């Protein structure tokens, strides 16, 4: 069977997925991340490799470490929306 | 009684359009939503039961239900600048939970969980005035192992029976699809041919055939969210779909569909 796009999230990646979930859905955490990313990531106990991948917005590296692709996608979008680095037309 | 059934795309680019999205395409999908809104006004529902796939918003890895019913007094959530809140049709939600369990579906229910944008986006564009209460129905689409298409179809058949026996006028609305691969290396290559074959099947009233799809096939086609449609298909039987729009963007097959009942 070919590799699935969405796979069972390994338990070892729970802290990373928890951090991405918070970036996506927790406005206060996202604000803390924007102010001090290292300190925010430390709240979730991310290891150095995961921290580097997240700081670099390196999707492939994050997914390889067990991150859920959708969480990577939406966490990144929400951070860009909050930073104002992308413009949106709201309907 | 069940008075109408729809399926609507919910991609967030339809409500918060970045510069990467074709504005005219987005507006064409909005026009299809406006048509749904007019139809809903004609159908005069007492409630809209929305079948959507949670984008890891109400349910994170702490607890992953295959099928869930929101049975709180109201459902609320946020997405970017949007803060939304809908009254829930509590007697209907309770009936779905109680009778669903009675029929052998081991449902999770919640009275307080954040409402994902999958529920909000179609309602933002299609909710008639005055607004009617909703019943949010969750299907796990993103956190493997998801419920099988056959199980979703069976749940839809049960929903059709439960809602059909109720005194309220109820509209079922699937939210999701079609082909897209958010967060994966296939994001820019959706399977539009697969989508079009499925739409042809639905136009023919052969939606029950989708129950035989496998989870692997849905994942491969970028259609993990089609589980919400397959759920609604269980309730609509052999009704033929009218496709209001199919608008393929560079990353997403945007479809809006009605099954006239």
- Using one digit for the tens of pLDDT, what is the confidence trace for B75-129? 999 998 899 999 999 999 999 999 999 999 999 999 999 999 999 999 999 999 9
Is A83 near chain B, with CB under 8 Å? Answer: no
Residue A81 confidence (pLDDT): 85
Give the start-end residues of each E strand in chain B.
Answer: 2-8, 16-18, 47-53, 67-70, 74-79, 82-87, 108-110, 134-139, 170-175, 241-248, 253-259
- The three-class DSSP label of residue B4 is strand
3-state secondary structure of A89: strand
**A6-15, A82-91, B150-159, B202-211 — which is least confidently predicted?**
A82-91
Cα B162 from Cα B114, distance rounded (Å): 25
Res A1: pLDDT: 44
Give the ipTM: 0.93
* Contact yes or no for B16 and A2 at CB 8 A: no
Q: Is A68 within 8 Å of B220 when comparing Cβ atoms? A: no
Residues on chain B touching A85 (C-beta within 8 angstroms): none
pLDDT in tens, B207-223: 999 999 999 999 999 99
Q: How confident is the model at residue A2 (pLDDT cuts 50, 70, 90)?
A: low
pLDDT of A24: 96
- Average pLDDT of the residues of chain A: 94
Would the pLDDT of A58 be above 70?
Answer: yes
At B56 the pLDDT is 96
**Nearest-angstrom CA–CA distance, B218 and A15:** 28
CB spacing of B61 vs A7 below 8 angstroms: no
Report the pLDDT averaged over residues A67-77.
Answer: 95
Instruction: Please tell me the CATH superfamily of domain B2-252, with its number.
Output: LigB-like (3.40.830.10)
Identify the pLDDT of residue B80.
Answer: 86
Cβ–Cβ pairs < 8 A, chains A and B:
91
Parts of chain B with a pLDDT under 50: none
Residues of A in contact with B185 (CB under 8 A): 60
Average the pLDDT over each of A57-61, A87-91, B133-137, B239-243 and give the range with the smallest value.
A87-91
């Amino acid at each position: 069977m070919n590799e699935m796009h969405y796979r069972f999230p390994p338990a070892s990646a729970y802290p990373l997925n928890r951090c991405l979930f918070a970036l996506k859905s927790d406005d206060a955490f996202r604000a803390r991340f924007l102010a001090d990313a290292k300190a925010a990531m430390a709240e979730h106990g991310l290891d150095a490799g995961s921290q580097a991948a997240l700081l670099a917005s390196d999707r492939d590296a994050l997914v390889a470490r067990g991150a859920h692709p959708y969480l990577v996608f939406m966490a990144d979008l929400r951070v860009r929306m909050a930073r104002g680095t992308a413009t949106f037309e709201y309907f | 009684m069940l008075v109408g059934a729809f399926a609507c795309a919910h991609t967030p680019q339809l409500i918060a359009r970045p510069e990467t999205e074709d504005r005219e395409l987005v507006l064409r999908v909005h026009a299809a939503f406006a048509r749904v809104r007019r139809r809903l006004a004609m159908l005069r529902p007492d409630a809209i039961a929305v079948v959507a796939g949670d984008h890891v918003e109400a349910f994170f890895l702490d607890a992953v239900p295959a099928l869930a019913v929101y049975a709180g007094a109201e459902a609320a959530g946020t997405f970017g600048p949007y803060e939304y809140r809908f009254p829930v049709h509590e007697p209907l939600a309770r009936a779905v939970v109680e009778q669903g369990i009675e029929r052998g579906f081991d449902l999770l229910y919640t009275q307080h969980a954040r409402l994902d944008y999958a529920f909000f986006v179609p309602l933002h564009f299609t909710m008639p005035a005055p607004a009617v209460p909703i019943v949010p129905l969750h299907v796990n689409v993103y956190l493997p192992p998801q419920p099988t298409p056959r199980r979703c179809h069976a749940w839809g058949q049960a929903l059709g029976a439960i809602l059909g026996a109720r005194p309220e006028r109820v509209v079922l609305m699937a939210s999701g699809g079609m082909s897209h691969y958010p967060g994966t290396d296939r994001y820019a290559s959706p399977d539009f041919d697969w989508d079009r074959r499925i739409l042809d099947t639905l136009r023919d009233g052969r939606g029950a055939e989708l129950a035989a799809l496998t989870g692997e096939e849905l994942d491969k086609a970028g259609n993990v969210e089609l589980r919400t449609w397959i759920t609604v298909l269980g309730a609509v039987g052999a009704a033929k779909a009218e496709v209001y729009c199919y608008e393929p963007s560079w990353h997403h097959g945007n479809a809006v569909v009605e099954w006239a009942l």
